[in-house]
Amino acid sequence: MASPQTLEVPVRGMDCAECTQHVRQAIAALPGVEAVTVLLSAEKAVVRLDPSRVDLGAIRRAVEDAGYAVPTAAAARPGPVPLRPFSRRVLGLLGLLFGAVLFVVVAGERLGLIEEATRRVPWPVGGALVLAGGYPLFRKVVRAALRGRVIAHTLMTVGAVAALAVGEWATAAVVVFFMHVGDAVEAFTAGRARRAVRDLGALAPQMARVERDGAEHEVPVGEVRVGEIVVVRPGEAIPVDGEVVGGNAAVDQATITGEAMPAEVGPGARVFAATLARLGALRVRAAQVGPETTFGRVIRMVQEAEAHRGQVQRLADNFSGYYLPVVATLALLTFLIRHDPLATAAVLIVACSCSFALATPIAILASIGGAARRGLLIKGGRPLEALARADVLLVDKTGTLTLGRPRITDVVPVEGISEEEVLALAASAERYSEHPLAEAVRLAARERGLALREPEAFEAVPGLGVRARVGGRAVVAGNRRMLPDASPLPEVAALEAQGKTLLFVARDGGLVGLLAAADTLRPEVPAALTAVRALGVRHIELLTGDNERTAAALGKRLGVPYRANLLPEDKIAVVKQYQREGRVVAMVGDGVNDAPALAQADVGIAMGAAGSNVAMEAGHMALLMEDWTGVPALFRIARRTMKVVKGNLLFTGAYNLAGLSLAALGFLPPVLAAAAQSLPDLGILANSSRLLRQT
């Protein structure tokens, strides 16, 4: 047995969730196929197989036998079309056409015109017209029946045949017409949800300009090698992830982070594929190319998100499996009780299980695609559904609530010495220290425009601070243990109570002042937490590995309870504790040391995941930008999506129940039943379309 391989197979012709099931079943039946995932939004099947037993040719034949197509690699794909204007125009046209035809059908039924047409045109002629017009649909039904499957068109086909059997060829023709209308509506509905994902992929550049042999060559992006220098001119999209080695530019990173303001980048900066160099040119050393770039991983995860189905979506899929036998039974009872073949045909015709299958995935895909355009990555219906029910939010501190790097917040001099003098002295002494606190001191000095002196001597004392000689005088900058004899300033207690780290500065043995540093809270966090509470999350808690004093200060500032001195396994235990209590837990972390807890939570949200494999894989959702406004945005998207899904299911359930009841009682003739069966799809499309506008 050869090593298993994973093959991605493009599939055309899928219009609804039922289609994906047919394709999956056809491929899964092949010997050597271990697993199959069929993605409607990406129009492909992901197949894990034994290459010694099955190949692409066998898969293509199986898909084609099921009634779908596997295009060749050279098959052209349509270019992206502006989503909303296109959708509004087509939806409006469909509505007008449907309304006009429905009016003609209803009027013709009421005035007896359909009955008159049936009487005047010989049955063989009318029957031939019906068979010719319905051949593509009837062929699918027959092929499915030969494989022991019942599809949505099976019932309507039986209804059309029943109408033909009792001489109502005109009624059968109307049924066939609305079968085509239903197919068109379903194709448009699936296409609209799919387009959000496709348009996202269209943002990726296809060509790159690389330096080879002393000259620039334009090559397909897939041919760029890691380590090569890529040249990006003003106004061009960056084709790779990498490091800037030359040039400066204002880069629009909205495709990755959702941030509207361009970022100024220069040598040493990290840039991402599919971002736009608006001003300036760049030379970029490629680090990741093609599917391995951040944008490539986003596209792949958005496409594969469809496979992660939530409980509501699985319920809808299972319901569709039971729905058709129930309808067939109701039709049989109608015939046995009422002895009315037309009423029986109407029951079969009005039933439309596709509306149940469409109710959930269309809304899910619309939300996932819309969120991805804002830099919010959602990995499927399951986490989206869980976040809509979440009532506990656990939050990591360092790198999540805070920026993850210390900044000088206070400069306290002794009497007779200025703040600038204390800061300049400390920064000069720390000039060659690699400690994060030393970098914060130097940054604070640069921000104030202070000139630093070159230390004549320098010694780093691990765990304590530094000793240096600046301007011929001995300077010490360190913690309290390094200066045990220094007289403490009155501000010390208050600063320590705020959880800040203190750096004492002495010159020639005498204390000249102190610096206070803290990991800066992200400015948008308080408002974001307030928004999350307003959305119904009852409990928000801070989890941190920092000490009790620091955690207490931040918890008090944000108005949330906290747990301090936690190891990664301790955070997992906290998540499990709430889950045992029946709570639905969401957690926000930086995706590195928090990865185990993010995976354990019902919904793990990785903060600032752009460019990080660990962060991207650890969470069920990811904020590609380091911006807390994305957290309440995800909660809003989740709650809005599930509201739309439930509305879709309620509408289609009530509609089908009413239609079946009216048809069984004889109040809905087959002609009107055929027209009525297309309406649920239009209703679901209209309701789900709101998510594209609001995400």
Catalytic residues: 396
Name 476's bridge partners: 467, 506
User: CA 311, 317, 321 angle in degrees (round to 5)?
Assistant: 135
Task: Tell me the residue ranges of DSSP E strands in 345-472.
Answer: 376-378, 392-396, 402-413, 457-461, 465-470
Phi, psi (rounded to 5 degrees) for 527: -65, -35
Enter the DSSP assignment of 434: -
Q: Give dist(CA 560, CA 576) in Å, integer.
A: 20
Number of residues that this document lists for the chain: 695
Structural tokens at position 597: 């807890």
* 559 torsion bin: left (phi>0), alpha (psi -120 to 50), beta (else): left
Give the distance from CA 119 to its chain's centroid. Answer: 57
Instruction: Check if the beta carbon of residue 76 is closer than 8 Å to that of residue 24.
Output: no
Q: Give dist(CA 52, CA 5) in Å, integer.
A: 10
Name 587's bridge partners: 394, 604
How many other C-beta atoms are found inside a 10 Å radius of the C-beta of residue 605?
Answer: 30
Task: Decide the pairing of beta strands 241-247 and 229-232.
Answer: unpaired
Instruction: Check if the beta carbon of residue 329 is closer than 8 Å to that of residue 626.
Output: no
The position carrying tokens 């109307």 is: 174
How many other C-beta atoms are found inside a 10 Å radius of the C-beta of residue 147?
Answer: 12
Burial of 92 (0-12, 13-18, 19+ CB in 10 A): exposed
The position carrying tokens 């055929």 is: 674
Phi, psi (rounded to 5 degrees) for 693: -80, -30
The position carrying tokens 């059997």 is: 165
Instruction: Check if the beta carbon of residue 365 is closer than 8 Å to that of residue 39.
Output: no
Name 46's bridge partners: 8, 37
575: nearest Cα among 605, 614, 534, 612: 605
Q: Give dist(CA 523, CA 626) in Å, integer.
A: 11
Give the C-alpha distances (Å, rounded to integers) separating 479 from 7, 244, 412, 469, 512.
59, 38, 15, 18, 14
In 3-state terms, what secondary structure has residue 258? coil
Task: Decide the pairing of beta strands 510-521 and 402-413.
Answer: antiparallel
In 3-state terms, what secondary structure has residue 308? coil
Name 589's bridge partners: 606
Computed on alpha carbons and rounded to an integer, the radius of gyration of the chain in Å comes to: 33
Structural tokens at position 216: 């620039």
Q: What number of H helices and E strands is found in the chain?
A: 25, 25
* Helices of type H across 232-380: 254-257, 294-304, 311-338, 341-350, 354-359, 361-372
